[in-house]
Amino acid sequence: MSVLKKFFKDTIIYGLATVLPRLMNILLVRLHTGKLETVSYSDTTEFYVYASFFNVLLTYGMETAFFRFFSKSQEKDKIFSTTFISLIVTTVTFLVVVLCFSSQLANWLDLNQTYFNLLIGILVLDVLVVAPFAYLRATGRPMRFAAVKLSNIVIFVVLNYFFFWAIPKFGINFPNYEPSNLVQYIFISNLAASAVTLLLLIPYFFKVKLQFSKTIFKQLLGYGWPIMVAGLAYVVNENFDKWIIPHLLDKDINGAYSGCYKIAVFMTIFIQAFRLGAEPFFFSHAKEKNAKQTYALIMKYFVIAGSLMLVFIIAYLDIFKAWLVKDSSYWEAMQIVPIVLLANLCLGIYFNLGIWYKLTDKTRYGMYLSIIGAIVTISFNLILIPKFGFMAAAWVTLAAYGTMMVLSYLLGQKHYPVPYNLKQILGYLSIAIVLSLVALSTDANYYINTILVLVFLGLIALFEKKEIIRLLKSN
């Protein structure tokens, strides 16, 4: 159990490095939805869809591959150095090519040239720090990791408030300030924050002697490219709806849809925090005799925490709505939130289940599963959105992640069977869904909804009392 406690400790630290920035980012959702029309918010969303896609393409699975080989290699410095050099070379090559065809690519993506230039700058800076960030995680330096991550978001948030709030409120004379084009200042703030992050991590560029191993590179690439394809498919699953809605419906609806989608950010924060702590732990713990039992226990606690979060957010959904999405013109898409929350919980379970193909070096299965999810996402969105509107996109997201989750479990039990307690896991999920449906039917009666949350907490305490006490008492 002491190993499990270490996992929770690291996850909490990495979680803070994720949760605090995301919580600060929530302030920006309120700021942006209060200052931007839904059309402009749609433009912001599309920008970050492209950023997500190209970020996965430019890292080509090297981060996960680095963790896999770093944890078991005796030549750790060479693993880091090879990863770092390969990312630098490919990123610089990408930058040169893009600069040669800048205007053509901007037109192809249907992006304003200024937005496109900012996009490329952000991408290059963010990819250059992938290896140093991975090194901090792999060598057990969560505090340093958290400090750099927090500095990034603080700069980003402060600059956003400077451009969106301080300049107009105090009449600050900022050169070439364009109040009619506030969207660009989101990207400018991002670029500045990424630049500072790069400066903070420069010392890690020289932590080891730079040496490139073709053999290691081939191993990293062989392991990583299916991760890249899976990542690209994940970007499609996560963002295709926000990219296609403006084309099938209009930008106004997409802005409202994207704004309300942000309310599910709390579930996303939880999942991302878990992944940051879990991935290095799963690899380092794989050789232990009780590894599978530990993975099963972690899965159960993940589902318990995620289910509790589902019930809590839905119980107080109107409060989150009023606080987070300031402009009521966005609220027409509020119906998607419960569905998207459940979809993201399924995604988190899928990420947890996915350890089987990473530990067995069968990453191509992760690629296959993500591609299946992408096929579901693309085909059903194209078919259903024109008929049923934006609500179809939310249901398709749930269908895609649910399908990936079920298939991953079935394949995992064949290739790397982990003794998950399905009875308890499905029980907690079912109870959470029922309580959430009841909460939605109470017309925001917070007395009843609070009782529902307390009921779920009581059930957790009742069923998990012995394990929780044992975990707290263990050394």
Average pLDDT over residues 449-460: 95
Average pLDDT over residues 249-253: 93
Question: Is the pLDDT at 474 greater than 70, yes or no?
Answer: no
Average pLDDT over residues 263-270: 83
The tokens describing 10, both together, are 């690291």
**H-state helical runs in 202-335:** 214-248, 251-261, 265-285, 291-315, 317-324
Q: How far apart, in whole angstroms, are the C-alpha atoms of residue 326 and residue 44?
A: 17
Question: Is the pLDDT at 3 greater than 70, yes or no?
Answer: no
Of 43-57, 217-231, 280-294, 353-367, highest mean pLDDT: 43-57
Number of Cβ atoms within 10 Å of the Cβ of 101: 10
24: helix, strand or coil: helix
The 8 Å CB, 24+ separation contacts for 180-187 are 182/35, 182/36, 182/40, 183/36, 183/40, 183/43, 183/44, 183/47, 183/115, 184/114, 184/115, 184/118, 185/159, 185/160, 186/32, 186/44, 186/160, 187/47, 187/115, 187/118, 187/119, 187/122
Question: Is the pLDDT at 2 greater than 60, yes or no?
Answer: no
Question: Does residue 305 contact residue 273 with C-beta atoms inside 8 Å?
Answer: no
Question: Is the pLDDT at 1 greater than 50, yes or no?
Answer: no
The tokens describing 177, both together, are 């300030």
* Cα Rg of the chain, angstroms: 22
Residue 61, phi-psi category: left (phi > 0), alpha (psi -120 to 50), beta (remainder)? left
DSSP 303-341: HHHHHHHHHHHHHTHHHHHHHH---GGGGGGTTHHHHHH
pLDDT band per the 50, 70, 90 thresholds, residue 208: confident
- The model's pLDDT over 354-381, given as tens digits with 9 standing for 90+, comes to 888 888 888 789 889 999 999 999 999 9
Q: From residue 77, how far is each of 80, 201, 211, 215 by CA, in Å?
A: 5, 17, 9, 14
Residues above pLDDT 90, as percent of the chain: 62
Question: Is the pLDDT at 129 greater than 80, yes or no?
Answer: yes
Q: How far apart, in whole angstroms, are the C-alpha atoms of residue 106 and residue 112?
A: 7
Helices (H) and strands (E) in the chain, counts: 21, 0
Question: Is the pLDDT at 282 greater than 80, yes or no?
Answer: no
Average pLDDT, the chain: 89
Question: Is the pLDDT at 23 greater than 60, yes or no?
Answer: yes
Burial (CB count within 10 angstroms: exposed 0-12, middle 13-18, buried 19+), residue 306: buried
pLDDT band per the 50, 70, 90 thresholds, residue 268: confident
Burial (CB count within 10 angstroms: exposed 0-12, middle 13-18, buried 19+), residue 465: exposed
Domain boundaries, the chain: 2-473
**Looking at per-residue confidence, does 69 or 22 come out higher?**
69
What's the pLDDT score for residue 466?
Answer: 79
Q: How far apart, in whole angstroms, are the C-alpha atoms of residue 94 and residue 83?
A: 17
Q: From residue 400, how far is each of 193, 327, 395 by CA, in Å?
A: 34, 30, 9
HEC states along 130-165?
HHHHHHHHHCCCHHHHHHHHHHHHHHHHHHHHHHHH
- The model's pLDDT over 400-425, given as tens digits with 9 standing for 90+, comes to 999 999 999 999 999 999 999 999 99
212: helix, strand or coil: coil
Q: Which amino acid is at 146?
A: A
**Looking at per-residue confidence, does 166 or 469 come out higher?**
166
Task: Of 22-31, 318-327, 408-417, 431-440, give the lowest mean pLDDT range.
Answer: 22-31
Question: Does residue 361 contact residue 223 with C-beta atoms inside 8 Å?
Answer: yes
Q: Against a cut of 0.95, is the pTM above it? A: no
Q: How far apart, in whole angstroms, are the C-alpha atoms of residue 184 and residue 252?
A: 19
- The model's pLDDT over 142-160, given as tens digits with 9 standing for 90+, comes to 788 888 988 998 999 999 9
- The model's pLDDT over 313-341, given as tens digits with 9 standing for 90+, comes to 999 999 998 888 878 889 999 999 999 99
Question: Is the pLDDT at 195 greater than 70, yes or no?
Answer: yes
